[in-house]
Every structure is written in C-alpha cells, then in structure tokens.
Amino acid sequence: MNDLKLEDIAKLAGVSRSTVSRVVNASPNVGAATRKRVEKIIQNTGYHPNAAARSLASQRTNMIGLVIPRTTSAFFTDPYFPHLTQGVAFACNNHHMTLSLFLVGNQEDENEITPRLLRRGMLDGFLLQSGNSDDMLFKRLISSQVPLLVLGRPFEEKSVNYIDVDNISAAKSAVSHLIKLGYQRIGMITGAIRSTTSIDRETGFRQAMAEAGREIDPTLIAEGDFSESSGYLAMKKLLPLRPDAIFAQSDVMAIGAMRAVQEAGLQIPGDVAFVGFDDLPIASTLPIKLTTVHQPITHFGIKAVDLLIDMIEKGTKPAKRMILDTELIIRDTCGGKSVNRPTDQGAEMEGSALKKPA
Amino acid sequence: MNDLKLEDIAKLAGVSRSTVSRVVNASPNVGAATRKRVEKIIQNTGYHPNAAARSLASQRTNMIGLVIPRTTSAFFTDPYFPHLTQGVAFACNNHHMTLSLFLVGNQEDENEITPRLLRRGMLDGFLLQSGNSDDMLFKRLISSQVPLLVLGRPFEEKSVNYIDVDNISAAKSAVSHLIKLGYQRIGMITGAIRSTTSIDRETGFRQAMAEAGREIDPTLIAEGDFSESSGYLAMKKLLPLRPDAIFAQSDVMAIGAMRAVQEAGLQIPGDVAFVGFDDLPIASTLPIKLTTVHQPITHFGIKAVDLLIDMIEKGTKPAKRMILDTELIIRDTCGGKSVNRPTDQGAEMEGSALKKPA
DNA sequence: AATTTCTTTGGGAGCGCTCTCATAAGCCAT
DNA sequence: ATGGCTTATGAGAGCGCTCCCAAAGAAATT
C-alpha cells in the first residue's frame, strides 16, 4: 500500500534485491525456504512493484491499445464496438495485460494521440480498427515500429497484419438465400462506402446475383453508413422503387430500414423481406426476428488480442493474417420457413463457453 | 521512429540533456534560438520520449483507469456504458491523458486486476463504477492510495469521492408526471435492487407517491436488472395486475417491457403508459417515442474525468462530491400531450457542442 | 579426494528520463 | 565599472526496477 520498494523488501528479508525480484517474477532459481520467506514479507507489507520502473527496465509495459479512428465514429452508436471491446478486454485479462482505449474524436485528438501510440515505453502493441480509405491516422500509424494488428481488411494490404471475417462469402450467402427464396427485386443498403467492410459485402452481393444470373438494378442500392438513421433514410429512398427484399449491411441499419417500412404501413417479410449482418443480440428479440449473418464479434476481439500478443512475443514476420467464419442465421424477416437459433453473443463472456488458454 | 534517446538529441543539438528535456516539456526557460534548433532536430529525427522512463522519473503516468466491476456486468448490453465510456475517452483526449479500461469479467479477473490498480507507477487515478452492495472489488479498492472517483453514489459514502446524478428527484419528477396525468395503477420496474442507483430511483418513486397521497401497491413493483430481457420478464409478471402506467428505471428495460405489452396486444400509452430513464438516442426513434428522464451520460463521463484530474493535481481532501441534474423529456409513451425534443446524447461528441477547456 | 556441474545468491550496471542545484551569462541601475 | 538581478544552460543524482555476470556452496561425477 505504502511506498515500499524492492530494496526495502530485500532488507526485511535479509536477501538481495535480485532475489526479491526473482520471487516477484516467479523465476525458478530461488531456494524454497527463501522464496517462502520473501513471499510472506511481500504479503504482509502489501508490496506492489512499481509499474513504470519495471517497464523501463524490462522494455515491456504489458499494455496494449485499441484504437478507433474517427472515420469510424459511428463508434458507440453501433453495438458492434462495445461487443468487440468486451472481447478485447476479456482477452487482455486472460493475458494479464492492460487495455488502453483510444477513441479518436476529431482532428485534434488525432494529432495528439498519434505520438502517444508511436512512443516507446507506452504500449507493447496495438489493435487498429480499419477505417475509410482516406484515413490519415491509419497511414501514419501503419509504419509504426510497435507491433500493430489491423481489425478488418485494410486498404493497403501489403505486409500489414490484419484479422477480418470473410465478408464476401458471408454477404454472398445472405443474398443467395434471398434469391433462393424467390425474391425478384433485391435491394441493398450499404455501409460507409469507403470502408473495406462495405466494399467486401457489396462484392458478395454482386457475386451472388451474378451466380444466379440476375441483373443488378443500381437504383436498388442505397448508401448508408452503418447507423440506424442511415438505414431508415436509405429505405425511405428505396421504398418507392418497390423492392421485395433488402440486404442491409448491418443489423442496426436493417432495424432502421424496417422502421421505415413499418411507418409506410407495409408488412415484413410479406411486402419487404430483410437480411441483416452482425447478429447482434437484439436481432433475436425484435418483434419480427431478424434473419442475419452471424459474425463472432466478441470472439473476433479475443482472437485479435491473441494474435497481437503472439506478434509481440514472436515477431511480426511474416505478416499475419486471420480470417474468421460467419454463419447465416435464418429467422423471420426473410420469409420462408423460420429456423430458430438463439444468439450467443452476450453469453460468450459467461461460464465455460470460452475456455481460457492454459 | 528509431531508438533515439534524449541524450542523442542533446548531442545532435549541441546542448545538454536538460535543455532538450525543457524543450520537450515546454518549459519557459529556454532561449528562443536554442528551442528552435532543438525542435527542428526532434522534428527531423522523429524522436519521441520514452513513456516508461518519463513516468518513472516524474512519478506521473498520464493515464487514468475506468473500472467496471463484474456486478455491473450488464456492461455492454446497456448502451449506457458505451456512452459513458465515450465521454470519459473524450475528456481524456482533452487532458492529454490515456484511458485504460478494466472490464472485470469474473472472480479471477478481479484478483488479477486489483493489484494492477493498486500498483504505483501505473495509473495516476481511476474511475470506479459503483456496483452492488456486496461488491468485494469495491471494498478492496476504496482504500486505494491512488486517487479514486466513484461513478454513482457508493454504499459507504464516508470520505469517498463520488459523482452522481440526482436519481431521487429525477425519479420523483417522472412519477409525479404520471400521477398528474391521472394514472391510477402506477407500477415500477426496478434496476438491480442492490445498486444505489436503483434504490435512489425507488426512493424517488415513493416520494412522489407519498406527496400525492397515494398508496403504493407492492405487487406493482417488479424487479429487473437494467437489461432488456429483465424488463420484458418483469412486465409479463405485471401485466395480469393491470397497471395503467409503468415507471421503468432504465430505457432499455422500458423497451423490453413495451415489447411484452405489445405482444399481449395492448396499446401504448392507451392501455399502459411508460416513462423510462436515461434518454438514450433510441428513445426518440422508437415507433412510439419514449417519455424518459434525460441524464447527461456522456457529459457525466467528461465531468468525472475533469474532477478526477483535479483530484490528482490538487489532492483529494476534502472528499469531492458532484451531483448532476436531469430533465424529464415528455414524448409519446406517457400519454397526455406530447412535446418533442430531439435527444442530443449522440451529438455531444460532434462539433462545438462541447467546448474544450482552455 | 579432486574435479566438474548445478543451483542459489549477490553485486552492479543500466533502462531513459526529470529535477534540483550550481554556474554562466546577460541586463539594468547606480 | 561594479554589484545585484534575472534568465539560460549544464552536471549529477536519482526514479525502482531487470538482468547479466560472478561467486559461493551443494551435489554429482570421476
């Protein structure tokens, strides 16, 4: 509790600083009796090693950062990020690491945060949410000396470490399902169009249509930005064109879009069917349950941390890649026959669903 | 970028380490010419001071922690926390501080995180979300030597620094409004009943009823835990007792409860009126807009950081208190005449709504 | 019994900064 | 010029750890 240092413990135990250090760091080369004696004194005095001193001497801070650029500023509007953060935090706990959160709000923040990230002695590594193509922060950080893992496919993939879900085939399976169900006028509400996420999901959409020999009506593609209101607005534009099914690139936008449909007095899925993306917990508690692509958000965060720590410990060459799978969850909004399956997003933190690494 | 140190810069500039240090730390006592020369070299070399070394020497890390105990594990289920986190992160940026996030998932995390928080040289101070009465983490941390500000009224207030909103009068105004509107069978859905937040809101409920000379029917009070599903379940229990109005202690629970009402084929507010608490952005985009108590969540986070930093710099004696105001926002779910007012929760981060401190 | 090998411990040199104090220089008034 | 004052710079002693290396025993080998 108080201001004891290693040296004080050493004196109390009648050993050297080195020995106490060994005990604190669980080094094997300490006699059993000595270890016990030192441990007891540490216990009694409530000694805690000073983190800064330890970092300075060991060149390790045991901290990693999670950076959300401002181009992704839909940040806490979309439950995606909280879930991700939860996964990251969970994994950090398992690895005895501390998580630092950098939410970039504006240009000023960006200038101020960048050096903090690049500074040595601060972070052992960091996770960077992939943003838009014109993201300057991204460009500045990408050449960082400290290990960096990008969340989501970056624009410039060359020798960048990243982790992502397979957005293309995920979107493809969603749209194929709609086609299989017989919908004729299938529309799409995109995410922020300069994000790779949105681009990949659109690619999946196009692939599914092409494979089915369908023409794409470009007027049935409306632009959103992953937010609820953008989904609502996009749907308002689409409604006069009478689409019979919509692939929304996120659940939150699907919810906004469905709000627009209901306001117009139309039925879901009777008049307009929906498939979303994310499988947020809310998808299964909506009045009309949302058919959507399940992506393991929390798990994604955990994997990201695991990979980053691996990079920190074993180096970043060759560049690391990891692509996680998704799964189409069929519920009520797509019409056809409904197969129910509870979402497990929220439950992941609990109990034994997630085994800790040994 | 590379591994330059203060000394290298000094050598390059032909000055002493001390002078470079002064330049880096914007100390006034440096000659203009010298400053310029040193700054240029720092610029060119891309030098960044080592954070660990600086922390060790200065006894300041410029990091603060945000700790969410596991008893509050509804964590990212409820948008409350993301909004709070956003405010905290925003304020940290303004103060050039780094935010560390501690999400306590389970007992093991708790044991592991506690020493990290208490350790010197790690955090300059931290924010601790108030949890349940039986929260051990809380008890262990409360006597911390490092400055600590509790978010929400703690159980044991004595000499504890905390910040809260005025839950009692907020709840009171919500319930009074329902009474004024003429509802006769007013029920309540509580939050986690061992949290001070829930206790205070219940007190407000009771005060409003008492002032109006109303009896309280205890069967019309159902227990929730701030989650959507708990609101739904609570309402299921309440429905057979035919309440005509419900005060839900959080918006999310109100949403769950309204789901139950609609499933039962009843009208809102015709059959059951609602008042929520929080004024999340979603409250104003629901099909039937939610009447609720606005609490400035993001702003709350900002104020908390400001206060904590003040404590770090000026000491914690006497114990600090801060209580923020709330406002009843009347929309559609309470019946009576609706006054619309857009929620500004999400907008707070943008533009000039929030002035940075000079 | 002598030699080698391991295990346990201590000593000391950093890690890269900050900060106090001493010194040197510049400035003004007398 | 001379003393007193302010301002700019440098030297050096830490901050509290880690980690390499050497030393001293103990144990094992010959």
- H helices within chain A, ranges in order? 6-13, 17-24, 32-45, 51-58, 80-94, 107-118, 136-141, 167-180, 196-211, 228-238, 251-263, 297-314
- Mark whether B316 and B343 lie in a shared domain: no
| Contacts by residues A214-219 (CB-CB < 8 Å, ≥ 24 positions apart) | A214/A179, A214/A186, A217/A185, A217/A187
pLDDT in tens, A37-90: 889 999 999 899 999 999 999 999 999 999 998 766 556 678 899 899 999 999
CB A76 within 8 A of CB B83: yes
The whole-number Å distance from A18's CA to D23's C1' is 14
pLDDT in tens, B3-21: 789 989 988 888 888 899 9
- Mark whether A269 and A314 lie in a shared domain: no
Predicted confidence (pLDDT) at residue B267 exceeds the cutoff of 80: yes
Q: Does A212 touch chain B (CB under 8 A)?
A: no
Residues in chain A with CB shorter than 8 Å from the CB of B50 are 56, 119-121
Predicted confidence (pLDDT) at residue B256 exceeds the cutoff of 80: yes
Directed axis angle between helix B107-118 and helix A80-94, to 10°? 80
Higher pLDDT, B158 or A268: A268
Closest nucleotide to A58: CA versus each C1': D18
- Mark whether A105 and A213 lie in a shared domain: no
- Mark whether A271 and A305 lie in a shared domain: no
Percent of chain A scored above 90 by pLDDT?
Answer: 63
Percent of chain B scored above 70 by pLDDT?
Answer: 91
Is residue A18 included in any domain, yes or no?
yes
| Helix %, strand %, coil % of chain B (to 5) | 45, 15, 40
Structure token pair of residue B108: 């093991």
pLDDT in tens, A214-224: 999 999 999 99
- The whole-angstrom separation of Cα B12 and Cα B7 is 9
- Mark whether B85 and B24 lie in a shared domain: no
Residues in chain B with CB shorter than 8 Å from the CB of A50 are 56, 119-121
CB B223 within 8 A of CB B234: yes
Q: Choose the closest CB to A86 out of B2, B103, B116.
A: B103
Burial of B213 from C-beta contacts in 10 A (0-12 / 13-18 / 19+): exposed
Q: Does A81 touch chain B (CB under 8 A)?
A: yes
Higher pLDDT, B143 or B83: B83
Q: Does B109 touch chain A (CB under 8 A)?
A: yes
Structure token pair of residue A336: 């056809």
Predicted confidence (pLDDT) at residue B1 exceeds the cutoff of 60: no
Number of domains in chain A: 3
Directed axis angle between helix A6-13 and helix A17-24, to 10°? 110
- Mark whether A202 and A157 lie in a shared domain: no
CB B282 within 8 A of CB A259: no
Is residue B55 included in any domain, yes or no?
no
Domain that holds residue B192: 167-295+327-349
Give chain A's largest Cα–Cα span: 84
- Mark whether B96 and B192 lie in a shared domain: no
Q: Choose the closest CB to B77 out of A50, A102, A346.
A: A346
CB A124 within 8 A of CB A61: yes
Predicted confidence (pLDDT) at residue A115 exceeds the cutoff of 90: no
Percent of chain B scored above 90 by pLDDT?
Answer: 62
The per-residue pLDDT of chain B, averaged, comes to: 88
Residues in chain A with CB shorter than 8 Å from the CB of B48 are 115, 118-120
- The whole-angstrom separation of Cα A58 and Cα B34 is 34
The pLDDT value given to residue B73: 57
pLDDT in tens, A220-243: 999 999 988 999 999 999 999 999
Q: How confident is the model at residue A345 (pLDDT cuts 50, 70, 90)?
A: very low
Q: Does A5 touch chain B (CB under 8 A)?
A: no
Closest nucleotide to A120: CA versus each C1': C16
Partners of A276 in beta bridges? A292
Tally the C-alpha atoms within 13 A of residue B139's C-alpha that lie toward its C-beta: 5
CA dihedral A142→A144→A146→A147, nearest 10 degrees, is 20
The pLDDT value given to residue A72: 60
The per-residue pLDDT of chain A, averaged, comes to: 88
- How close, in Å, is residue B27 to chain A by CA atoms? 19
CATH number for A35? 1.10.260.40
Q: In this complex, do B98 and A100 lie within 8 Å of one another by their Cβ atoms?
A: yes
Q: Looking at strand D, which nucleotides approach a protein CB closer than 7 A?
A: 7-12, 14-20
Cis-peptide into B82, omega within 30 deg: no
Q: In this complex, do A53 and B48 lie within 8 Å of one another by their Cβ atoms?
A: no
Residue nearest to nucleotide D10 (CA to C1'): B16
Protein residue ranges contacting nucleic strand C, Cβ under 7 Å: A 14-19, 22, 28-35, 53, 56-57, 59, 121; B 3-7, 17-18, 21, 24-25, 49-50, 53-54, 56-58
- Mark whether B155 and B98 lie in a shared domain: yes
Nearby residues of B38 by Cβ (< 8 Å), 6 or more positions away: B9, B13, B15, B19, B20, B23, B30
The pLDDT value given to residue A320: 87
State mean pLDDT over A322-346: 73
Indicate yes or no: strand D within 7 A of the C-beta of B26. Answer: no
Is residue B95 included in any domain, yes or no?
yes
Identify the three-state secondary structure at position A122.
coil
Is residue A307 included in any domain, yes or no?
yes
Distances (CA, A) of A122 to A301, B67, B257: 21, 20, 46
- Mark whether B145 and B116 lie in a shared domain: yes
- The whole-angstrom separation of Cα B43 and Cα B39 is 6
The pLDDT value given to residue B183: 96
Lowest mean pLDDT among A57-61, A281-285, B306-310: A281-285
Q: Looking at strand C, which nucleotides approach a protein CB closer than 7 A?
A: 7-12, 14-20
The pLDDT value given to residue A74: 58
- Mark whether B116 and B189 lie in a shared domain: no
Q: In this complex, do B86 and A76 lie within 8 Å of one another by their Cβ atoms?
A: yes
- Mark whether A144 and A181 lie in a shared domain: no
- Mark whether B203 and B337 lie in a shared domain: yes
pLDDT in tens, B47-93: 999 999 999 999 999 999 999 987 665 566 788 998 999 999 999 99
Give the gyration radius of chain B's Cα atoms.
25
Q: How confident is the model at residue B31 (pLDDT cuts 50, 70, 90)?
A: confident
State mean pLDDT over B260-270: 94
Q: Between residues 287 and 326 of chain A, which touch chain B (CB distance below 8 Å)?
A: 287
Is residue A57 included in any domain, yes or no?
no
Distances (CA, A) of A85 to A99, B87, B355: 10, 16, 27
Is residue B356 included in any domain, yes or no?
no
CB A118 within 8 A of CB B48: yes
Q: How confident is the model at residue A287 (pLDDT cuts 50, 70, 90)?
A: confident
The pLDDT value given to residue B71: 62
* Residue B349: closest CA among A77, A283, A309: A77
Is residue A248 included in any domain, yes or no?
yes
State mean pLDDT over A282-286: 89
User: Any idea which residue has 């627009």 for tokens?
Assistant: A260
Q: Does B56 touch chain A (CB under 8 A)?
A: yes
Residues of chain B (51-90) having a beta carbon less than 7 angstroms from strand D: 53, 56-57, 59
Is residue B354 included in any domain, yes or no?
no
Higher pLDDT, A240 or B142: A240
The pLDDT value given to residue A236: 97
CATH number for A288? 3.40.50.2300
State mean pLDDT over B234-261: 96
* Residue A346: closest CA among A23, A127, A87: A87
Q: Assign residue A324 a region: left if phi > 0, alpha if psi is -120 to 50, beta otherwise?
A: beta
Q: How many CB atoms lie within 10 A of CB B106?
A: 16
CB A93 within 8 A of CB B105: yes
Burial of A188 from C-beta contacts in 10 A (0-12 / 13-18 / 19+): buried
Residues in chain A with CB shorter than 8 Å from the CB of B108 are 93
Predicted confidence (pLDDT) at residue B104 exceeds the cutoff of 50: yes
- How close, in Å, is residue A64 to chain B by CA atoms? 10
Q: Between residues 36 and 55 of chain A, which touch chain B (CB distance below 8 Å)?
A: 48-55
> Which run of H or E residues covers position A322?
strand A321-324
Cis-peptide into B147, omega within 30 deg: no
